[in-house]
Amino acid sequence: MSDIGGQIADIRRELGDKLLILGHHYQRSSVLGHCDEKGDSLALARLAGLNKTAEKIVFCGVKFMAESADVLSGSNQTVFIPDPMAGCPMAQMADAESMSRAREFLQAGGDHAYGLAGDWLPVVYVNSTAEIKAACGEWGGSTCTSSNSAKVFEWVFGQGKKVFFLPDEHLGWNTGADLGVPDDEIRLYDPRFENGGLDADDLAVARIIVWKGFCLVHQRFVVEHVEHVRHERPEAKIIVHPESPKEVVRICDAHGSTAQIIEYVEAVADGSTIVIGTEVNLVERLAEEHKGRVEILALSPSVCANMAKINENNLLDVLKTFPAESEVHVDVAVAENSRLALERMLAAT
């Protein structure tokens, strides 16, 4: 173990269960080796809410994940992030003011010719700011992650309502398709345009409206990548994260959250070849872990520069002094409504 690794291990031993280090699957292996738990967004949110002993929770991931941990953890617990600049660009693609304009449009003037004011409920992907989650909670909606979006959409449909999903267009389209909602009953809301570029006819036919937002890491997967694999390695199975464009997802063998991708790889027969379309740290780690049993290749290497901001050096820096600038605090009023949206998700799935 490196000297830095040794120092981290010493501090962890000293603090025992007063310290909880959580790590997302996209973290580099050297960081994950120091984490008490690793997981996808859903698992990590649950863990932060369930842990009662740790006074300090260090979150190795991006800011929105650490914010959710702060919202779900107890008042005696403080959440830290090793690099406070580790944001998620997708989370910045929806702001509370634009969401409020969208809500006005969807509820315009009470009941109207193309639907009822109460027709729509928001579903907010956890890859969003705490303010967006709060607006969702206050409106009666729920958050979701890529592993439970279908269940949360069903929770909305079960109430006889329609889904207003933000901020990832692709997860919205892909979840709709998983539930058998045809493309012509899904509309794209582009916040740059008045009423998102939609009109009364769109609202009349749509069962799902998806916000125009995306993840740079996954949007770069294209149909040609899949076609290339099909041509060169016809025996390979291809699995991608559902933040990938629907045209890609539909010609792959499977899609799923980071945890579901890991489960998929663990379940395949020895000697298989699996091509994975997601952040490259996870792909490379799976390739290493399953070496000699399963051949694992990247659909195309794609790096999340923000996840990569966390390393052993800044993890050790936090653990040495727990500096105030690394603390993650969601404003109390925002946290209250944001918790409503997160807890609805945890209860529904």
Is 124:322 a contact under the CB 8 Å cutoff?
Answer: no
Check residue 215 for interaction with ligand SF4 (CB under 6 A): yes
Check residue 40 for interaction with ligand 13P (CB under 6 A): yes
Q: Minimum CB separation from ligand 13P for residue 320, in Å?
A: 28
- From 102-110, 215-223, 260-268, 292-300, span contacting ligand SF4 (CB under 6 A): 215-223
> How many alpha carbons lie under 13 Å from residue 128 in its C-beta half-sphere?
32
Query: Which residues within the stretch 259-298 sit at the binding site for ligand 13P (CB under 6 A)?
Result: none
- What's the token pair of residue 99? 């969401």
- From 86-94, 180-188, 313-321, 323-331, span contacting ligand SF4 (CB under 6 A): 86-94
Beta bridge partners of 298: 276
Check residue 243 for interaction with ligand 13P (CB under 6 A): yes
Check residue 62 for interaction with ligand SF4 (CB under 6 A): yes
Check residue 171 for interaction with ligand SF4 (CB under 6 A): no
Of these, 27, 175, 258, 314, which contacts ligand 13P (CB under 6 A)? 258
Is 186:165 a contact under the CB 8 Å cutoff?
Answer: no
Of these, 27, 41, 128, 338, which contacts ligand 13P (CB under 6 A)? 41
The four Cα atoms 119, 123, 128, 134 give a dihedral, to 10 degrees, of 70
Check residue 145 for interaction with ligand 13P (CB under 6 A): yes
Of these, 102, 279, 318, 341, which contacts ligand SF4 (CB under 6 A)? 279
Q: What track of x and - describes contact with ligand 13P for positions 105 through 134 (by CB under 6 A)?
A: ----------------------x-------
- What's the token pair of residue 157? 């449909």
Which of ligand 13P, ligand SF4, none has residue 40 at its interface (CB below 5 to 8 Å by kind)? ligand 13P
Rounded Cα distance, 57 and 19, in Å: 6
Between residues 120 and 221, which has the closer beta carbon with respect to ligand 13P?
221
Greatest pairwise CA separation for the chain in angstroms = 68
Is 184:171 a contact under the CB 8 Å cutoff?
Answer: no
Q: Minimum CB separation from ligand SF4 for residue 214, in Å?
A: 9
Rounded Cα distance, 10 and 63, in Å: 26
Q: Minimum CB separation from ligand 13P for residue 146, in Å?
A: 4
Check residue 306 for interaction with ligand SF4 (CB under 6 A): yes
Cβ atoms < 10 Å from Cβ of 190: 14
Of these, 21, 81, 90, 203, which contacts ligand SF4 (CB under 6 A)? 90
Of these, 73, 78, 146, 219, which contacts ligand 13P (CB under 6 A)? 146
Rounded Cα distance, 310 and 82, in Å: 6
Q: Minimum CB separation from ligand 13P for residue 149, in Å?
A: 10
- What's the token pair of residue 269? 């027969």
The shares of helix, strand and coil residues in the chain, as percent rounded to the nearest 5, are 50, 15, 35
Rounded Cα distance, 36 and 33, in Å: 8
Q: Minimum CB separation from ligand 13P for residue 18, in Å?
A: 27
Which of ligand 13P, ligand SF4, none has residue 78 at its interface (CB below 5 to 8 Å by kind)? none
Q: How many residues does the chain have?
A: 349
Between residues 41 and 78, which has the closer beta carbon with respect to ligand 13P?
41
- Classify the C-alpha dihedral 142-146-147-149 as positive or negative: positive
> How many alpha carbons lie under 13 Å from residue 122 in its C-beta half-sphere?
33
Query: 54: Cβ–Cβ under 8 A, 6 or more apart, which residues?
Result: 17, 18, 19, 20, 77
Quote the radius of gyration of the chain (alpha carbons, Å): 21
Query: Which residues within the stretch 121-160 sit at the binding site for ligand SF4 (CB under 6 A)?
Result: 127
- Residue ranges that bind ligand SF4, judged by CB under 6 A: 62, 88-90, 127, 215-217, 243, 279, 304, 306-307
- Residue ranges that bind ligand 13P, judged by CB under 6 A: 25, 40-41, 127, 145-146, 215, 241, 243, 257-258
